[in-house]
Each structure stands twice: as C-alpha cells, then as structure tokens.
Amino acid sequence: HSCLFRHSWDKQCDRCHMLGHYTDACTEIWRQYHLTTKPGPPKKPKTPSRPSALAYCYHCAQKGHYGHECPEREVYDPSPVSPFICYYDDKYEIQEREKRL
C-alpha cells in the first residue's frame, strides 16, 4: 500500500514550506486562529508574532534552536511543524479551501 500514498517526506507545503505534509493538511490552518475568539476570519496580530528569546529544543534538549528546527531529527520522523504563523487567510481563501475539500 505504500505505492498508493507518497511518502510523507516527499510532500511539501506551500503555506509554511516545510516538508512532510501537503498544504491542505498544514497545521497553520487551525493555528492561524490563535488570537481569534469570535466567529469569522482569523484575527491578525498588529505586529507579527515574535519568537521567544528562550529557544530550547524539546527533541534534543539543547539550547539555541526550537524543536521544529532540530538538526538531530531522523529523516523518517514525521516532521514537526512550525509553531509560527506565516500567513493568515482571508474570508475568500477560507471559502476556496472549503470548496476543495
């Protein structure tokens, strides 16, 4: 059955440009609502969300990078995804995605 699905490490996301998933499966689709508490399109922060000064890796326990950037991860691991949001959808883009799925 491995021939039915492409391996996850072949996939690349057009949203966050990380390997391991397709655009429509990107966690940013729900993560972009992190500041939204009312129905409607996601609320954008006034200034882009900054990275925390404390960078510790949950994977290798080293200081200086975040877990999703860890160089020690094995290739076959399903790549973890970025906790940052590169892009907030507008109403139109949400409708388009709903049509696709």
Residues in contact with Zn ion by CB under 5 A are 13, 15-16, 26, 57, 59-60, 70
Count CB neighbours of 45 within 10 A. 11
101 HSE (CA, 13 A, CB side): 11
Nearest distance from C-beta of residue 2 to other proteins, angstroms: 21
- Which CB, 3 or 47, lies closer to other proteins? 47
Report helix, strand or coil for 33.
coil
Nearest distance from C-beta of residue 14 to other proteins, angstroms: 16
Report helix, strand or coil for 31.
helix
Report helix, strand or coil for 19.
strand
- 42-101: contacts with other proteins (CB under 8 A): 45, 49-52, 54-63, 66-68, 80, 83-84, 94, 97-98, 101
